[in-house]
Structure 1
Amino acid sequence: MTRPAHVLYVAWGFPPARGGGVYRALATSAAFADAGARVTVLTAAREAFERYTAVDAALEAHVHPEVSVRRLPFDWPAREPDRARWSAVRRAAPRVWWRVRKELDRVSFPEVGYGPWRRVLEAGARQVHADRAVDLVVATANPYVDLVAADVLHRDHGVPYVVDYRDAWQLDVFTGRRKHRRGSRVDRLEGRLMRDAREVWFVNEPIRAWHAEQHPAAAALMHVVANGYDPQFAPAPRLEAPDPARPLRFGYIGTMSRQVPLEAFRAGWAAAAARSAEVASATAHLWGHSSHYAVEHPGSSSIPVTPGTPGTPSALPTGGSGGGVVVHGPVSKTAVAEVYAQLDVLLLILGTGRYVTSGKVYEYLASALPVVSVHDPGNAATQVLVDYPLWFPARDLSAEAVATALVSAAAAARTADRATRQACADFALASSREAQLGQRVSALLDAAR
């Protein structure tokens, strides 16, 4: 009997880190373990997430019991929140310090903030292989420095590897522009890493196609492995209409960064309330962080809001003020299903860009609720939703277009029958994380064996 394949999964962000990419890492490591592999995860120290990016402590309980986690020290001077630890030079000339810091970060590896982690990560990968021979490395990015663990074991021992892009290194997914010129250090490094890989994964077809054009020698290795929803966290499908005696609750769950068009949503919401008594009596609840980091600076929210009660889903109020829009604090991934259970219409508010999908779109599908798209129709998310029976896209980001979608979704929330809602639930089945990962995981383990 042959031994189980040993898979090294490399992810800087792994529970208890919080952020969209963490869920892909959690699910992918579990998928390999469920398929019979022995999985070791190489990630940053828990203290790094607590200090620099904030944590979702409840996520650690969802790490697969057969997955072994090794944590490596990580220092991020530019994100140091304690000014007492800043050098005298940084305090006196912060802009000069930052310019020098960026150059130092890129000496070892061409990535600001994460470059210095290269040596630590390479040593960690070599130690894992020395303890038990690694048969396959799966490295997820960003950060892109994660890829060096795969590279070093491939160069040293011929270990095959997968590059899993949950984001794009050279492509700005919002603008469609290149971030690094052709022939640059990043371009050359990425090209080599792709050509040497067993497979290269992307979260949607537009991103895969862009990279196939940039790196044609690796095009045959490229696959789309969409994010999908995680059944243990996803909402249960709602097959019954809400109580007609209570006002509707619209809701958004996700990071409210500067790319998210909250201003456009707010203008559309006001226009819809002026047009529809149903929307006028409703409330819109926005849940999430205002940035990807632990220290969220004042003024980071894009719209004037009425603060809600942050923390747990049970705090979701039945009414609101400030035009009916209420912003809550972040909610643990382990509790988002409770938030969905209190909502009647979902708001998919995304940054502009034909390469933007967002992981939450799949979770939204699992709810079987009406979904209002407040994003550029050219976004990749449109292709995910196009056949969903209760999808209400704004034709553009004007207040009028957003209002029309909101009013139509409110009507559907009241009138959609059980058969329509069941069709939504059936449509979502193909978007589970297991459905997205299963074929690739099986193929890779068969090759490893």
Structure 2
Amino acid sequence: MKVVSGKKLTSSITGLLFMLSVVGCSTEVVNTTGLTDNSNSVNNQQAQFLSTFNSQFDNKGQSSKIINVRLKKTLNETQINNIAKKYNAKVKKYIKQINLLTLETIATVEDGEVPKAVSALSVDTTTIKTVEPALKVTLDPVKVENDDLGTDIKSATLNDPMFGDQYSMKTMQVEDAWKINPGNPKVKIAILDTGVDLNHPDLKDKLVAGRNIADPTKQPMDDNGHGTHCSGIAAAASGNGEGGIGVGGRCSIMPVKILTFGSGTDDIISEGIVWAADNGANVMSMSLGIYRSSKPIEDALKYAMDKGVSISASAGNNNQEYDIHLPSTYPGVIEVASTDDKDQKSSFSNFGKKISVAAPGSAILSTLPTYQVGSKPLNYGKLSGTSMAAPHVAGLIGLILSQKPGLKPAEVTKVLESTAKDLGEPGWDRIFGNGRVDALAALTSLKNK
């Protein structure tokens, strides 16, 4: 997919030069802009960032400086530093919950230091499980839509002026589902993405403490627009006379910034997953992808789900089938395909044997930053992608957990799949999975349980 303006969402590498322990305190969300509406300044920042960090990766997306070392057991600080010193590297972070040590080599790939370090570390089988260069992770490109679907949706109870253009909320029967349960603020939906506009009028009162994993010295402000859009889909405020609504109703939003200008690395992604799980996230929405195996990400996903966190992830936008697309194809993660306003497959949506459910993802109206980011509109706009489908499901999971607290991830998945509207071939199929999710059907199924 491509951005209508012709500017493809560019990839970059997140701020890897910040050492951080994931057991640290959360960053309190405060009312600060963090970014201005000076589009030229933001574009210059992005260009500089890309120039510096993209040079660290080869054509396979492998870092020329950063190495991920999975350890067999927990080590203390002295032991960690000794490993780094032995292999001529610096410690970038140690995520003890999943025993992931991230090192930065002193020299560049041209000097052959990464291959030499990986080879040397791999010999240490007593302490080390696996060694691999850090991998680049990017957003699947989304499309900026300028069309008007011409919907005519009326609400007797909501005063949100853009609700009439949110076909997905009618399709999923969200307003009727709220009559059963409008969502509980204690249920936290973590949006692991590019950050969130912390001052957006439809989001600011829904936020709980979050974290900028990419750069812990800063607030988790959105430098792309993608994370703000996903946040609004999941749980934008309702009944406030602003914009539209989010599926999760009164559920809270936890902003976890793991991507800078749309891209990051698997160690940063892993850290964000672990941080969110340790800081009370009940649901995670992840609209990003890497088309290869990453043991750090897989370890983090398992850690989160073992703690009872349900994870909704986008299937990708290449209209193809892939055996691996992390995080969505990892066992237990809910892989979400995309549908349009006619309940048909979105033209861009990936498909395959791992698809769990589908959700609306074409021309979705939601929140966008109140400051300029790239070519996207200000405040609100329509985007298309499986990136938009995944937070619909995350919001619905928030409603499910509001109605039935304590459900395990596998039980949540069963509710979603058993109550989805069957589309395409009867029963499960490779295009829609078990069908397009239905909020009213899901909550109705739990009403008397």
Question: What's the TM-score once normalised by structure 2's chain length?
Answer: 0.34
Choose 1 or 2 for highest CA Rg: 1
- Structure with greater proportional helix content: 1
Higher strand share: 2
